[in-house]
Structure 1
Amino acid sequence: MSSHQVRDISRCTITPQRTTESPQTPERCQLTSWDLSMLSVQYIQKGLLFYTPSSLKHPSNPTVHLLKKSLSQALLHFSPLAGRLKIHHSSSPSSSSSSSSSSSSSMYVFIECNDAGAEFIHAAADVTVSDILDPIDVPQIVKSFFSLNGALNYDGHSIPLLAVHVTELIDGVFIGCSMNHSVVDGTSFWHFFNMWSEIARRGGEGSDCISAPPVLQRWFGDLDPSLVRLPFSEADEFIERFTTPVLRERIFHFSAESIARLKAKANEECNSNRISSFQALCAHVWRSVTRARKLSPDETTTCKLLIGNRTRLQPPLSPFYFGNCVHYVDTTSTAIQLLSHDLGWAAWLAHQSVATQTDATVRGTLDAWVKVPFVLQEGNVDKWGVYFTSSPRFNMYGNDFGWGRPVAVHCGGANKFDGKVTSYPGSGGGGSVDLEICLFPEFMNALESDDEFMDAVSHS
Structure 2
Amino acid sequence: MSTPSVQLISECFIKPYSPIEDSNQICYLTPWDIALLSVHYIQKGLLFKKPESIDNQQDFMNNLLDNLKHSLSLALDHFYPLAGRLVTQKTQDPLSYAVFVDCINSPGAGFIHATLNMTISDILSPVDVPPVVHSFFDHHKAINHDGHTMPLLSIKVTELLDGVFIGCSMNHCIADGTSYWNFFNTWSELFQAKPQTPQVHVDAPIISHNPIHNRWFPQGCSDRLINLPFKHHDEFISRYESTKLRDRIFHFSAESITKLKAKANSESNSNKISSFQSLSAFVWKSMTRARNLQHDQKTSCKLTANNRSRMEPPLPEQYFGNSVHGLEAEATAGEVVENNLGWAAWKVHVAVANHGDAAVQKYVKEWLLSPMVYRIDMLVEANSVMMSSSPRFNVYGNEFGMGKAVAVRSGYANKSDGEVTAYPGREGGGSVDLEVCLLPETMAALESDEKFMSIASVCNNPMC
TM-score tier by shorter-chain length is: over 0.9
From 347, 350, 356, the equivalent of 2:348 is 350
Q: Give the structure 1 partner of residue 97 of structure 2.
A: 107
C-alpha change, 1:91 and 1:5, in structure 2 (3 Å) is same
Work out the CA distance in 2 between the residues paired with 1:245 and 1:329: 24
From 114, 118, 125, the equivalent of 1:127 is 118
What does 1:327-342 align with in structure 2 at a 5 Å threshold?
A: 327-342=325-340
Work out the CA distance in 2 between the residues paired with 1:226 and 1:91: 18
Work out the CA distance in 2 between the residues paired with 1:459 and 1:401: 28
Once the two structures are TM-superposed, the CA of residue 135 in structure 1 deviates from its matched residue by: 1.1
Q: Give the structure 2 partner of residue 397 of structure 1.
A: 396
Once the two structures are TM-superposed, the CA of residue 90 in structure 1 deviates from its matched residue by: 3.8
Whether contact under 8 Å (1:35, 1:324) holds in the other structure is yes
Work out the CA distance in 2 between the residues paired with 1:238 and 1:317: 29
Once the two structures are TM-superposed, the CA of residue 225 in structure 1 deviates from its matched residue by: 4.8
Amino acid across the alignment from 1:85: L
Whether contact under 8 Å (2:4, 2:117) holds in the other structure is no
C-alpha change, 1:4 and 1:186, in structure 2 (3 Å) is same
Q: Give the structure 2 partner of residue 139 of structure 1.
A: 130
What does 1:117-266 align with in structure 2 at a 5 Å threshold?
A: 117-203=108-194, 204=196, 207-226=204-223, 228-266=226-264
Q: Give the structure 2 partner of residue 52 of structure 1.
A: 50
Once the two structures are TM-superposed, the CA of residue 24 in structure 1 deviates from its matched residue by: 7.9
Amino acid across the alignment from 2:192: R
Q: Give the structure 2 partner of residue 98 of structure 1.
A: none
Once the two structures are TM-superposed, the CA of residue 221 in structure 1 deviates from its matched residue by: 2.6
SS at match of 1:49: strand
**What is the count of residue pairs matched by the alignment?**
447
Q: Give the structure 2 partner of residue 102 of structure 1.
A: none
Q: Give the structure 2 partner of residue 387 of structure 1.
A: 386
C-alpha change, 1:292 and 1:118, in structure 2 (3 Å) is same
Q: Give the structure 2 partner of residue 87 of structure 1.
A: 88
Amino acid across the alignment from 1:419: G
Whether contact under 8 Å (1:82, 1:160) holds in the other structure is yes
What does 1:287-436 align with in structure 2 at a 5 Å threshold?
A: 287-380=285-378, 381-436=380-435
Once the two structures are TM-superposed, the CA of residue 129 in structure 1 deviates from its matched residue by: 0.9
Work out the CA distance in 1 between the residues paired with 2:120 and 2:4: 17
Work out the CA distance in 2 between the residues paired with 1:442 and 1:402: 42
Once the two structures are TM-superposed, the CA of residue 106 in structure 1 deviates from its matched residue by: 4.2
C-alpha change, 1:288 and 1:106, in structure 2 (3 Å) is farther
Work out the CA distance in 2 between the residues paired with 1:147 and 1:85: 18
Amino acid across the alignment from 1:9: I
Once the two structures are TM-superposed, the CA of residue 208 in structure 1 deviates from its matched residue by: 3.8
Once the two structures are TM-superposed, the CA of residue 226 in structure 1 deviates from its matched residue by: 2.4
C-alpha change, 1:407 and 1:24, in structure 2 (3 Å) is farther
Cα deviations by residue, 1:202-244 (Å, 9 ceiling, x for unpaired): 1446634211111011111314152733211111111010112
Q: Give the structure 2 partner of residue 96 of structure 1.
A: none
Amino acid across the alignment from 1:88: Q
Work out the CA distance in 1 between the residues paired with 2:227 and 2:59: 51
Q: Give the structure 1 partner of residue 462 of structure 2.
A: none
Amino acid across the alignment from 2:98: Y
Once the two structures are TM-superposed, the CA of residue 458 in structure 1 deviates from its matched residue by: 2.5
Q: TM-score, normalised by structure 1?
A: 0.93
Whether contact under 8 Å (2:287, 2:446) holds in the other structure is yes
Work out the CA distance in 2 between the residues paired with 1:160 and 1:239: 18
Once the two structures are TM-superposed, the CA of residue 23 in structure 1 deviates from its matched residue by: 7.6
Work out the CA distance in 2 between the residues paired with 1:333 and 1:367: 28
Whether contact under 8 Å (2:218, 2:365) holds in the other structure is no
Once the two structures are TM-superposed, the CA of residue 37 in structure 1 deviates from its matched residue by: 0.9
Amino acid across the alignment from 2:183: F
Kindly report the root-mean-square deviation, in angstroms, between the aligned alpha carbons of the 2 structures.
Answer: 1.8
Work out the CA distance in 1 between the residues paired with 2:408 and 2:204: 26
Whether contact under 8 Å (1:2, 1:141) holds in the other structure is no
Once the two structures are TM-superposed, the CA of residue 296 in structure 1 deviates from its matched residue by: 1.1
Work out the CA distance in 1 between the residues paired with 2:267 and 2:366: 36
Once the two structures are TM-superposed, the CA of residue 116 in structure 1 deviates from its matched residue by: 2.6
Work out the CA distance in 2 between the residues paired with 1:90 and 1:35: 21
Once the two structures are TM-superposed, the CA of residue 82 in structure 1 deviates from its matched residue by: 0.2
C-alpha change, 1:459 and 1:413, in structure 2 (3 Å) is closer
Q: Which runs of 5+ in 1 are unaligned?
A: 94-104
Work out the CA distance in 2 between the residues paired with 1:225 and 1:417: 38
Q: TM-score, normalised by structure 2?
A: 0.93
Task: Determine if the alignment matches structure 1 residue 64 to structure 2 residue 65.
Answer: yes
Whether contact under 8 Å (2:261, 2:275) holds in the other structure is yes
SS at match of 2:314: coil
Work out the CA distance in 2 between the residues paired with 1:128 and 1:191: 29
Q: Could you tell me the percent identity over the aligned residues?
A: 52
Once the two structures are TM-superposed, the CA of residue 3 in structure 1 deviates from its matched residue by: 6.6
C-alpha change, 1:91 and 1:365, in structure 2 (3 Å) is farther
Cα deviations by residue, 1:8-41 (Å, 9 ceiling, x for unpaired): 111111111326xx88861111111110111000
Amino acid across the alignment from 2:84: G
Amino acid across the alignment from 1:211: S
C-alpha change, 1:231 and 1:2, in structure 2 (3 Å) is farther
**Stretch deviating more after TM superposition (5-14 or 432-441):** 5-14
Cα deviations by residue, 1:135-186 (Å, 9 ceiling, x for unpaired): 1111111111000101110110111001100000000000000000000000
Cα deviations by residue, 1:83-112 (Å, 9 ceiling, x for unpaired): 00011124578xxxxxxxxxxx54211111
Work out the CA distance in 1 between the residues paired with 2:301 and 2:222: 32
Amino acid across the alignment from 1:148: H
Once the two structures are TM-superposed, the CA of residue 249 in structure 1 deviates from its matched residue by: 0.3
Amino acid across the alignment from 1:12: C
Amino acid across the alignment from 2:161: I
